[in-house]
Chains A and B, each alone.
Chain A
Amino acid sequence: MTVHLAPTIEDLSEIAEQVWSSYLDPEGEAPLFPVGPPDPDAVVHGDVCASVSISGAWHGHIVVSCSAVAARYAAAALLQMEVGEVMPDDITDALGELANVVGGNVKSTLPSVCTMSLPHVVVGSGVTNGWPLTVPVCELVANWRDELVVLRVLRSKSDLAGTTDQ
């Protein structure tokens, strides 16, 4: 039996804190606040949903989803522009890069050897970007500038056969 370490909520929280303090809130004026207990049965949803996929010794997805307003805030912060200046392409690029950075750091907690995909971003009102053949590993539900942001690690069900997570 193979024993694989899985990323934890503590890993995800630490990664989020680093991303926010480096790029989204460098002045410490608008930190990310975790809210409520994670719901393992909740569907990943949001107006903008960005993800990267991991394959190799571990198979799954790292998903960043948020409201349209939060996505505009994120793009404005990353590009250092006014929120009113943000264009749709800015939001796609910004959220994709957030998923890439979060995903890359999550990948560093996974067993070797894994590869990570380029980011995939879906934008639309009430987007539900589900992965039915996965199970949630950990989830960070947070409030940022009074908007919901969710970071989630999903693992492929087919990956779990003969494997014990810790």
Chain B
Amino acid sequence: MKILIADDSRVMRQIVTRTLRQAGFGDHDLVEAADGREALDKATAEHPELVISDWNMPEMTGVEVLRALRSAGNQVPFGFVTSECTPEMQGAAAAAGALFFIIKPFTADGFRDALAPILG
């Protein structure tokens, strides 16, 4: 399965990659995006089967990326990994079609719980 990791922090993209491996999801193909625009472009061009996205990014926020994908008819499974968590944000994420909302700092167990229904 191809997974797109979108986060403007290279450090956090590495941590997400490492945590996927620790959670038992290390055998997937990973693609990275460093801002929201790149995330939208790669989610369209690379045809990932899952998008794991930060919320607060340059160019476009994660939820703007998700809304743009859905507006274009792209139904790729999409979830957030973000340091910000408010009821408003979680509501907006769910309304836009997000499948999960993982809060930083996270653990491998948190990844496993959120992603097992999608990655098996």
Residues of A with Cβ closer than 8 Å to B?
Answer: 18-19, 21-23, 75, 78-80, 90, 93-94, 96-97, 100-105, 107-108, 112-114, 116, 118
Contact = CB atoms under 8 A, between A and B. Distances in A.
B84 A108 contact: yes
B86 A108 contact: yes
Contact of B10 (A80, A93, A104, A108): A93
Nearest to B104: A101
A112 B9 contact: no
B68 to A, nearest CB: 19
A28 to B, nearest CB: 14
A79 B83 contact: no
CB-based closest 4 A-B pairs: A104-B83, A22-B105, A104-B84, A97-B9
18 contacts: A22-B107, A78-B14, A80-B18, A90-B11, A93-B9, A96-B9, A97-B9, A100-B83, A101-B105, A104-B56, A104-B85, A104-B104, A105-B83, A105-B85, A107-B86, A108-B84, A108-B85, A118-B8
A51 to B, nearest CB: 14
B11 A97 contact: yes
B58 interface: yes
B12 interface: yes
Nearest to B19: A22
Contacts of A101: 83, 104-105
B117 interface: no
Interface string B51-94: 00000111000000000000000000000001111111000000
A100 B85 contact: no
Given A97-B9, A101-B104, A105-B103, 6 more contacts: A22-B106, A79-B14, A93-B10, A93-B11, A94-B11, A114-B86
